[in-house]
Structure 1
């Protein structure tokens, strides 16, 4: 499966979340760290859903970038 993630820069680090997996979040000091941490968070989140007998939501979010003239 391929889930979209949103990475945001904060004052001291980065944070990431998965729109299709509510509550699945991670933080890190670098982009490399946040990518590693959110991968682990997604895996952990999905395993928890399965263990609880819940449905794993399919990835449905679409990511696009728009060029805006200032």
Structure 2
């Protein structure tokens, strides 16, 4: 499965939250990661997507298909 097909939202974190960037995957509830740069957050969230899919598979949960756009 191509993990990059899942839309990812990357947002800056405030300095109060430690700075850097926060990445979430709307199609996969609770799937998120962060990084010092947007690029690092995107790389890190790919590991989170893989772990989310692995856990869902092990628990017999359905894997949602990637959406094409984010509302």
Runs of 4+ that moved beyond 4 A: none
Give me the TM-score of the superposition, normalised by structure 1.
0.83
Give me the TM-score of the superposition, normalised by structure 2.
0.81
Aligned length: 64
- Asked if 1:27 corresponds to 2:34, the answer is yes
Give unmatched runs, 5+ long, in structure 1.
65-70
Is the Cα–Cα contact under 8 Å of residues 28 and 34 in structure 1 kept in the other structure? yes
Aligned partners of 1:43, 1:26: CA distance in 2, in Å?
A: 12
Give unmatched runs, 5+ long, in structure 2.
none
Give the match for residue 67 of structure 1: none
Partner SS state of residue 55, structure 1 = coil
Aligned partners of 2:35, 2:54: CA distance in 1, in Å?
A: 22
Higher helix content, 1 or 2: 2
C-alpha root-mean-square deviation of aligned residues, in Å? 1.6
